[in-house]
Structure 1
Amino acid sequence: MAYGTEYAPRRIHNDYFGVDIGLRGRWLLTVITASCAAGFSLVGYDNGIMGGIVGLGEFNKTFNNPDANTIGNIVSLYEIGCFFGALSTFVVGDFLGRRRTILISSLFMIAGAVIQAASSSVGIMILGRIISGLGMGAINSTVPILQAETSPAISRGQLVALDLTVLNIGIVVSYWVDYAFGFSGLTGSKVWRIPIALQCVFIVVLMACTLVIPETPRWLASKGREAEAIAVLERLHNASIDSEEVQNSFAGIQQALQHERAASNTGWNALFASDRIQTRKRLFLACFIQAAQQLSGINALIYYSGTLFSKSIGLDEHKSALMAGGLNMCLILGSTISIFLIDRVGRKKLLIPCIAGMSLVMCAQTGLVKKTQEGGGAIYGRAASAMLFVFEFFFSLGFQATVWLIPSEVLPLLIRTKGSALSTASNWIFNFAVVKFTPSALENIQWKTYIVFAILNACWVPVIYFMLPETKGRNLEEIDELFTTDGWHIDTAHAAADTKAAAHQSNDVEYADADTGSHKGSHKDEHIITSTLDSKAN
């Protein structure tokens, strides 16, 4: 006997605040993706905006010409705020859920933006930066989970790659906003206050989209709210409760929860458990891939691209600003291409050659910058400039989207929030280290800075090859099957997992296509939903 949709609650996401406008199928997935994209665009805008502002004469005039160390603190302490913001979701993320974490964190970001835009002392500016960072870290930790837990397996990577393309657009927008205000002839503190305040536009879009979407079915199920989880699955698939899509999705979530609960406890030590589903290994992979991204050197380019063009290559201030804006257009190009490749080629086949390419580019950059700084001629400077463009293209093509996709894929459901908090925190703490020490490195070891990044990128290749499984095309529950081998090596051709993945891909129905109104009846796994609703009714 199947239960109709009347047994599931109609208003499924108004725990504290929210607006239920009845989104289903394609439209629901579109708004969820828009919410996630707005969160990532905010990351991009905030990462890029300060790099240009701190070099403006009006900014330095307002803050009494701060020295290099003070400037470094203004820029880098934002990352410390992000670090603690990400860690905060370790404590409250599972309690609040995905939606409420994003909404509350957005309020922190608005408060931080207002404080920064109104500041007139270094202390107040740093306070605003830290408050914004707290909100950003929590958003950055939660948005990838929201996207992964609501996306169909066959296009999950594509949607995350789309989010990262929007992040890159945010970076590019921030650079050209800096350029427009810095070289437009405007005077007064508005040339830096307005660019900072403009981030509120991204925050408002993020909050508006998040207010009208439901909580993820996987989080609801993990909290024992199965009827609400089923209702969300109905909306995601735009199908009835007894349809094959809803039945199979809910059964997979329930089975994964049972498997994870049987394999380990759900306390704090569960994060580091060496259990049947290899939780400790999966946490290591999530944290490793985030740290590796930062240590690749990408944010040395994004934050200090103008400095790299001026100090390393010898361009004047105006040309450096133009080149910095153009450089980050490569991020959009690479990430746009990755949208079409990540779910076809796979994560590892994009990661490995692109990271190897980044290492080779940094090797070439080392020699070219050395020649430039030794007065070897303009041709070496032009070649060094070109290498920075190639590096960012490789990064955005293979490294960028996978870094935010892999943690949400490999982490078990029961510790996904806490694990994502730690992995995102590792991203921000290494981001802080790179941003803090890059200016000193460029000043003291000069061209040798690039060889450090070349060596680090070369080290990531064997780790990814031997330890990271291919998750393309598998739903989040099937990925557990990939972590059943002993030791730290992962057998990516695990027969059981591949068999399940193949079956899933042949039956997977895109949410976008579900708007045609698929209501196929099926009794497969129906007893799980029936028994769940029976228990809720008693």
Structure 2
Amino acid sequence: MGLLSLRGTALARARVCLIVVPSFLLFGYNQSNIGGVLNYPSFIKYFPEIDTSNTSGAVKANNAKVQGTVVAIYTIGCLIGALGITQIGNRIGRRKSLIIAAAIAAIGQIIQSSSFSIGQLVVGRIISGIGNGGVNAVVPVWQSECTAPKSRGKNVVIIGIFISSGIAAAGWVNVGFSFIKNNEVAWRFPLAVPILFTMMIMTFTLFFPESPRWLISKGRLEEAFDTMRKLSREDSIDDANIRVEIDNISSLLQEGSQSERGFLDLIKPGRQRLFYRMGLAIGINFCAQMTGANVISYYGSTIFKESLGLEEKKAALLNAGVLTWKIVAAISAYLSVDRFGRKPLFIIACLGMGLSMAALAGCVWAIDYRYTFGASVAATFFLFSFMTFFPLGFLGANFLYSAEIAPQDLRIHLAAIGTATHWLFNFVIVEITPIAFVTIKWRYYIVYAVIGVSVAGFVYFFFPETNSRSLEEMDELFSDPEHWWKVPSYARVLRTGMPEASLGKPSVSHIESI
């Protein structure tokens, strides 16, 4: 009865702790856990097809390709799950679709951790990916729809802290079990840990209210009214104002669409500029992946060992240290996203990551051709530098942006497209990295340096700022300018000179946040 009686700030905090935390610990942990066990003798015993530690020449090159596919196939499952959840997310609601996705993820983890053949391992990774992709698509939408505009950024970007915590946890779990790497429990237990997170999601989701915006979209106005009262602080409840807000949201939904829409509507021309919005959702998640963060998250130990020439135990400890530093760096986004906005953080993050990768390429070149202790130390510094900038813009804010620029009836669709893009390019990174390490070596880091610096300009010219605008105001932000390319400059005018009231629609301010 304790959870059911919570309201306002207490309810928001409980939702973060019991839903958002396990959801994105699951996300982060799954992103890097298998990378730390690939070289364990007990793992290679069952999966010799992906052994790159005890092979050389053509055999090693072939095994590297297979290894990349086995690791990356999980991300294809995530892509399928992110897109597939839209088929039920708008029909049965955010809560039920989240429970279904978590259950699928649990089944996949069970299959994966009990694998005795590479086929079983691949099937388990695909199924767990489908579930995890669904969870990733639903939670930012649910969270953004239950949060006030003034703090929506930090309440969604906070997921970055939990993603990085999950990644770091996987790193340290692998360090601990590396001392018994000849025993198969050293890899089976780490692969089974995420089952705990899925159990938490399935259990606690039942105790939290459905998204009020989804309830309004389905005409369940009394339930929406009760939910908004629960989400309001005790000292700010005003039933009359809540009714007005519900009427405003309902009327905006009716103006936006008279019939149920789907993915095809995103490519149709119209004043809402849905195709442009879809391009932004795809673009920001492309930026999040193709700047190289998951090269480090998945293959950090390999970088320290093979690129920097460090011995195995030191490589594992430094990798865990980089992933732990990511948690500290993620706090910067939480503190700044609602103060400075989304766009400045994206740009600063891109420039910082690009310059760090350029410096890392130079250091690895020096190590390859003329090994020096100084180059190894400098390379380690630039890996930590990269992980300082990445969480600032792309460890949560990319999911937030995809969810908040969408109209209500297509929010789950646009968020899913953003998440699917994230996983598609994640697949590309994880698939090609083992091959790139063997073939182009230090030049591989130059690719990410160029992309990082380039996308900073892309973000500046094409992305509008969305900070402090209610979800209902986004339609006017995108539809008011005469041409789509004027939307970013129009957003700057609104942010710097035009009073919020001039948009003509009140914000939903009775929804509480932490």
**TM-score scaled by structure 2?**
0.91
Q: How many angstroms does 1:174 deviate by?
A: 0.6
* Equivalent AA in structure 1 for residue 15 of structure 2: I
Question: Which position in structure 1 is the counterpart of 2:432?
Answer: 437
SS at match of 1:366: helix
Q: How many angstroms does 1:80 deviate by?
A: 0.9
- Flag the 1:456–1:245 CA change in 2: closer, same or farther, 3 A: farther
Question: Which position in structure 2 is the counterpart of 1:152?
Answer: 148
Kept in 1: contact 2:349–2:389 (CA 8 A): yes
Q: How many angstroms does 1:57 deviate by?
A: 1.4
Q: How many angstroms does 1:32 deviate by?
A: 2.2
SS at match of 1:488: helix
* Equivalent AA in structure 1 for residue 484 of structure 2: G
Q: Distance in 2 between matches of 1:131 and 1:507?
A: 38
SS at match of 1:274: coil
Alignment map for 1:86-165 (pairs within 5 Å): 86-165=82-161
Q: How many angstroms does 1:68 deviate by?
A: 2.6
* Equivalent AA in structure 1 for residue 74 of structure 2: Y
Q: Distance in 2 between matches of 1:24 and 1:148?
A: 17
- Flag the 1:449–1:246 CA change in 2: closer, same or farther, 3 A: same
SS at match of 1:411: coil
The equivalent position to 2:199 in structure 1, one of 176, 201, 204, is 204
- Flag the 1:170–1:501 CA change in 2: closer, same or farther, 3 A: farther
Q: Distance in 1 between matches of 2:2 and 2:133?
A: 25
Greater Cα offset, 251-260 or 188-197: 251-260
Q: Distance in 1 between matches of 2:417 and 2:508?
A: 34
Q: How many angstroms does 1:306 deviate by?
A: 0.7
- Flag the 1:478–1:60 CA change in 2: closer, same or farther, 3 A: same
Q: How many angstroms does 1:73 deviate by?
A: 2.4
Q: How many angstroms does 1:248 deviate by?
A: 4.7
SS at match of 2:464: coil
**TM-score scaled by structure 1?**
0.87
SS at match of 1:343: helix
Q: Distance in 1 between matches of 2:508 and 2:38?
A: 53
Greater Cα offset, 477-486 or 383-392: 477-486
Q: Distance in 1 between matches of 2:90 and 2:24?
A: 21
Q: Distance in 1 between matches of 2:507 and 2:413?
A: 33
- Flag the 1:68–1:19 CA change in 2: closer, same or farther, 3 A: farther
- Flag the 1:249–1:30 CA change in 2: closer, same or farther, 3 A: farther
Question: Which position in structure 2 is the counterpart of 1:44?
Answer: 28
Kept in 1: contact 2:29–2:167 (CA 8 A): yes
Kept in 1: contact 2:160–2:330 (CA 8 A): yes
Q: Distance in 2 between matches of 1:24 and 1:312?
A: 52
* Equivalent AA in structure 2 for residue 24 of structure 1: R
Question: Which whole-Å deviations, capped at 9, do the CAs of 1:128-152 have from their partners, x for residues lacking one?
Answer: 1111011011111111101100011
Greater Cα offset, 44-53 or 60-69: 60-69
Kept in 2: contact 1:77–1:130 (CA 8 A): yes
- Flag the 1:312–1:27 CA change in 2: closer, same or farther, 3 A: same
Kept in 2: contact 1:233–1:250 (CA 8 A): no
Q: Are residues 1:340 and 2:323 paired?
A: no
Q: How many angstroms does 1:282 deviate by?
A: 0.9
Q: How many angstroms does 1:479 deviate by?
A: 2.1
Q: How many angstroms does 1:508 deviate by?
A: 4.1
Q: Are residues 1:291 and 2:286 paired?
A: yes
Q: Which runs of 5+ in 1 are unaligned?
A: 1-17, 514-538
Q: Distance in 2 between matches of 1:176 and 1:215?
A: 36
Q: How many angstroms does 1:481 deviate by?
A: 2.3
Q: Distance in 2 between matches of 1:332 and 1:299?
A: 15
Q: Distance in 2 between matches of 1:196 and 1:267?
A: 36
Question: Which position in structure 2 is the counterpart of 1:533?
Answer: none
Question: Which whole-Å deviations, capped at 9, do the CAs of 1:384-404 have from their partners, x for residues lacking one?
Answer: 111011001100123222111
Question: Which position in structure 2 is the counterpart of 1:488?
Answer: 485
Question: Which whole-Å deviations, capped at 9, do the CAs of 1:466-496 have from their partners, x for residues lacking one?
Answer: 2211111121112222112213242223449
- Flag the 1:44–1:472 CA change in 2: closer, same or farther, 3 A: same
Alignment map for 1:320-335 (pairs within 5 Å): 320-335=315-330
Q: How many angstroms does 1:507 deviate by?
A: 9.2
Question: Which position in structure 2 is the counterpart of 1:353?
Answer: 348
* Equivalent AA in structure 1 for residue 500 of structure 2: K
* Equivalent AA in structure 1 for residue 83 of structure 2: L
Question: Which whole-Å deviations, capped at 9, do the CAs of 1:169-203 have from their partners, x for residues lacking one?
Answer: 111111100110112x3642111111111111111
* Equivalent AA in structure 2 for residue 27 of structure 1: A
- Flag the 1:186–1:447 CA change in 2: closer, same or farther, 3 A: closer
Question: Which whole-Å deviations, capped at 9, do the CAs of 1:237-281 have from their partners, x for residues lacking one?
Answer: 15698536523532442243133227x972543211222221111
How many aligned positions are there?
Answer: 494
Q: Distance in 2 between matches of 1:439 and 1:507?
A: 48
- Flag the 1:337–1:147 CA change in 2: closer, same or farther, 3 A: same
Computed over aligned residues only, the root mean square deviation of the Cα atoms, in angstroms, reads: 2.4
Q: Among all aligned residue pairs of Structure 1 and Structure 2, give the percentage whose two residues are the same amino acid.
A: 34
Q: Are residues 1:22 and 2:5 paired?
A: yes
Kept in 1: contact 2:231–2:510 (CA 8 A): no
Kept in 1: contact 2:288–2:422 (CA 8 A): yes
- Flag the 1:498–1:399 CA change in 2: closer, same or farther, 3 A: farther
Kept in 1: contact 2:355–2:449 (CA 8 A): yes
Question: Which whole-Å deviations, capped at 9, do the CAs of 1:194-233 have from their partners, x for residues lacking one?
Answer: 1111111111222222111111011111122222222211
Alignment map for 1:44-443 (pairs within 5 Å): 44-64=28-48, 66=50, 67-183=63-179, 185=180, 187-238=182-233, 242-243=238-239, 245-261=241-257, 266-443=261-438
